[in-house]
Amino acid sequence: MTTFLIVSIWFIVAFLVHFFIKKYLKSHKRVDEPPSPLALPIIGHLHLIGSVLPKSFQTLAQVYGPLMKIRLGASTCVVVSNAAVAKEIFKTQELNFSSRPEFGSSEHFIYRGSRFVTAQYGDYWRFMKKLCMTRLLAVPQLDKFIDVREEEKIKLVESVMRCCKEGRPCDLSSELTTLTNNTICRMAMSTRCSGKCDEAQEIKELVHTCLMLAGKLSLGDVLGPLKVFDFSGTGKKLVGALTKYDQLVERIMKEHEDKASNFSQGEKKDLMDILLETSRDPTAELKLSRKDIKSFLLDLFFAGTDTSSSAMQWAMGELINNIKAFKKLREEINTVVGSKGLVKESDVQNLPYLRAVIRETLRLHPSAPLIIRECAEDCNVNGCLVKAKTRVLVNVYAVMRDPESYTNPDEFMPERFLESSNEKIGEHQMEFKGQNFRYLPFGSGRRGCPGASLGMLIMHAAVGSLVQCFDWKVKEGEEVDLSPGSGFAAEMARPLVCYPIEHVNSP
Ligand code: HEM
C-alpha cells in the first residue's frame, strides 16, 4: 500500500513538474526576429541599398528570405517579399497590420491628425473609408462623371495631335499627368464654381511641389535625430506649398457652400459637395471639419494623380518597345471599336487584350512598389517575431516578379493575363481585388486602394485611344529607356518623350 502511494505521488509530481516546465518553456520560447544582413554602425544597411529601393530589397531577399529586417540609418523596418508572407500581412493577420505609420514629412503637414492615407486604423479612418466606398468613389458616383473623363481624354488626344501636326516631340509624362490631374480635379471640386480654368493647373503644380518636398523629407527619416535641424529648409517650403493649397481650396469650398443652398433636384454633386453635405449632417457618426475635407481631397490628389499617370507612361513605353504587343492591341481595337470614335469606357469590357496590357504593366511597374503598414501588437509572421510599432514594407515589386509565381517574370507578356493562359491569373482568379496574393498593384484588404476602379477607368480609355490614333517613334532607331527612377516612387528614370505619327485609320 505504502509503495503504491509513493509511486502514485511520484507520478503526480513528475506529471506536474513536466506540465509546468513545458508551460514555462512554451511561454518563454524564444522567437527570433526576422533575419537581417550585417549592419554597420550609424548607417545600418544603407551601404547595401542602390538607387532603386524595391530592386535592392528584392536582391537582399534572395539571400535573407521573404521576411527580413532592414535598418536604413535611424529607421528600421521589416520587408516582405513573397506572396505567402504578403498573405499573412494582408489577410491572416489583417487587423494587426491595418494601420500606416507617419512618414518623414508628417510633422510639416498642416493637416496632421486629419490625414486619411496615414490614419491609424480607428474611427476616423473607418468613417472616411465607408464614405469612399458607399458614395465618393462608388460606381454610381463614378458613372456621373463619365462625361468629364471622356472630355479630358479627348483633350489629351487633341494635344498629342497638335504635336503630331507640328512634328514636335510629345512629353507624354506631362500630358498624362495633366489628364489625371484635370480628371480628378473636376470630379473632386468642379472648376465650374469660379469658372477659372487655371485652378486645376495651380493644383497640379502644388501637388507636384508637395510630393517632391515630402519625398525629400522622407530622407529625414534616414537621418534620424538630425532631421529636426532641417538644414535645407524643405519643411518650411512644404508648409508654404500646403498653405497655398489650403487658401485655394478654402476659396473653392466657400463657392460650393454658397451654391449648396440652391442645389436643384438631380444636379450632379462633386466630391466636395458630398463632403460638405456630410459635414452638415447632424446624424453622421463623426463630425467632419473643414480641415478634414481639405486634407482628404489632398490625399486623393496625392494618391490618385501620379500613380495613374506613371502606370500609363510605363504602358506606353512597354508597348512602343514591344511592337508585337502594340500591333495586337491595335488590331483588337480596330476590330471592336473601328474608326467610329475613340476607345470609350464602355468598350473596355470587349477589349480583353487592352485589359491584359494594363494588368501586365501594373505587375511589372507597380505605381506603389512598397506598400507601407504598421504592426499594432507583437506577433509572429513567417515564424519570426514582429514587434508592435514596426514598419512593414510589402515589396509588391518583388512579389509580382517572383519566379515561383510567374514564368519569365521580368518580361512584358500581357498574354499571361488572358483567360486562355496557362498561368491561371486571369480575371476569374480575383487578382484585381487583391485576393490573389501574387498580384497586388492596389494592395489588399480593408486598407487596399479605394481608387482602383477609377484608376482603371482612366487608364484603359486613355492608353487605348493613344494606341488607336497614333504610331510612336522615339528617336531614329532608339527604344524607350525603361529604367526605373530612384527612391520610393515608381516613375521612369527619364520622362517619356516621343514622336506621335497619326495613324491612317484613326477616328
Ligand atoms: C494606377 C493607379 C493606382 C494604383 C496602382 C494605386 C495603388 C495604391 C496602393 C498600392 C495603395 C496602398 C494599399 C494598401 O495599403 O493595401 C493605395 C492606397 C490608396 N489609394 Fe490608390 N492607386 C491608384 C489610383 C488611385 C486613385 C485614382 C485614387 C483616388 C482618386 C486612389 C486613392 C487611394 C487612397 C485614398 C489610398 C489610401 C487608402 C487607405 O489608406 O485606406 N488611388 N493605392
What separation in Å is there between the alpha carbon of 325 and the centre of ligand 1? Answer: 28
300 CB less than 6 Å from ligand 1? yes
Domains of the chain (ranges, CATH numbers): 32-502 (1.10.630.10)
434 CB less than 6 Å from ligand 1? no
Please state the rounded mean pLDDT for residues 40-64. 93
114 CB less than 6 Å from ligand 1? no
**pTM of structure:** 0.91
List, as residue ranges, the binding site.
Answer: 449
pLDDT of residue 29: 59
Using the predicted structure, report yes or no on whether residue 69 has a pLDDT greater than 50. Answer: yes
485 CB less than 6 Å from ligand 1? no
317 CB less than 6 Å from ligand 1? no
DSSP class of residue 37 equals P
C-alpha–C-alpha distance, residues 82 and 360, integer Å:
18
At 49, is the secondary structure helix, strand, or coil?
A: coil
In the predicted model, what is the mean pLDDT of the chain?
Answer: 89
For ligand 1, atom 1, which residue shows the shortest CA distance? 308
**Closest ligand 1 atom to the C-alpha of 373?**
15
**Closest ligand 1 atom to the C-alpha of 455?**
27
Number of other CB atoms surrounding residue 235 within 10 Å: 20
Of the pLDDT bands very low, low, confident and very high (cuts 50, 70, 90), residue 70 is very high
Pairing type for strands 75-80 and 391-395 reads parallel
- In this structure, of 173-177, 229-233, 353-357, 456-460, the range with the lowest mean pLDDT score is 229-233
What separation in Å is there between the alpha carbon of 476 and the centre of ligand 1? Answer: 38
Instruction: Mention every residue, 6+ apart, whose C-beta is less than 8 A from residue 208.
Output: 177
Please state the rounded mean pLDDT for residues 87-115. 87
pLDDT of residue 37: 96
307 CB less than 6 Å from ligand 1? yes
Of the pLDDT bands very low, low, confident and very high (cuts 50, 70, 90), residue 104 is low
CB 50 within 8 A of CB 30: no
C-alpha–C-alpha distance, residues 69 and 373, integer Å:
14
Q: Cα-flanking dihedrals φ and ψ of residue 52, to 5°?
A: -105, 100
Please state the rounded mean pLDDT for residues 111-126. 90
pLDDT of residue 35: 97
For ligand 1, atom 19, which residue shows the shortest CA distance? 449
CB 89 within 8 A of CB 392: yes
447 CB less than 6 Å from ligand 1? yes
Using the predicted structure, report yes or no on whether residue 166 has a pLDDT greater than 70. Answer: yes
Using the predicted structure, report yes or no on whether residue 194 has a pLDDT greater than 50. Answer: no
Query: pLDDT tens for residues 368-419?
Result: 999 999 999 999 999 999 999 999 999 999 999 999 999 999 999 999 999 8
CA atoms within 13 A on the CB side of 343: 30
C-alpha–C-alpha distance, residues 448 and 450, integer Å:
6
What separation in Å is there between the alpha carbon of 307 and the centre of ligand 1? Answer: 8
Residue with cell string 482628404: 296
**Closest ligand 1 atom to the C-alpha of 118?**
40
142 CB less than 6 Å from ligand 1? no
368 CB less than 6 Å from ligand 1? yes
What separation in Å is there between the alpha carbon of 303 and the centre of ligand 1? Answer: 6
% of the chain exceeding 90 in pLDDT: 69
pLDDT of residue 192: 45
What separation in Å is there between the alpha carbon of 448 and the centre of ligand 1? Answer: 7
207 CB less than 6 Å from ligand 1? no
What separation in Å is there between the alpha carbon of 432 and the centre of ligand 1? Answer: 13
Using the predicted structure, report yes or no on whether residue 11 has a pLDDT greater than 70. Answer: no
- In this structure, of 266-275, 315-324, 421-430, 478-487, the range with the lowest mean pLDDT score is 421-430
- The sign of the CA dihedral 464, 332, 457, 414 is negative
**Closest ligand 1 atom to the C-alpha of 446?**
41
Of the pLDDT bands very low, low, confident and very high (cuts 50, 70, 90), residue 28 is low
Residue with cell string 495633366: 178
**Closest ligand 1 atom to the C-alpha of 362?**
5
DSSP run (H or E) holding 356: helix 352-364
C-alpha–C-alpha distance, residues 336 and 81, integer Å:
39
List, as residue ranges, the binding site for heme.
Answer: 449
443 CB less than 6 Å from ligand 1? yes
CB 439 within 8 A of CB 430: no
Residue scoring higher pLDDT (191 or 469) = 469
DSSP run (H or E) holding 291: helix 290-321
448 CB less than 6 Å from ligand 1? yes
Residue scoring higher pLDDT (424 or 253) = 253
Q: Cα-flanking dihedrals φ and ψ of residue 66, to 5°?
A: -75, -10
**Closest ligand 1 atom to the C-alpha of 90?**
16
What separation in Å is there between the alpha carbon of 276 and the centre of ligand 1? Answer: 23
Using the predicted structure, report yes or no on whether residue 236 has a pLDDT greater than 70. Answer: yes
For ligand 1, atom 41, which residue shows the shortest CA distance? 447
Computed on alpha carbons and rounded to an integer, the radius of gyration of the chain in Å comes to 26
Please state the rounded mean pLDDT for residues 86-114. 88
Q: Which amino acid is at 126?
A: R
Please state the rounded mean pLDDT for residues 310-319. 97
Instruction: Mention every residue, 6+ apart, whose C-beta is less than 8 A from residue 157.
Output: 342, 465, 466, 469
CB 301 within 8 A of CB 183: no
What separation in Å is there between the alpha carbon of 493 and the centre of ligand 1? Answer: 22
pLDDT of residue 195: 47
What separation in Å is there between the alpha carbon of 447 and the centre of ligand 1? Answer: 9
455 CB less than 6 Å from ligand 1? yes
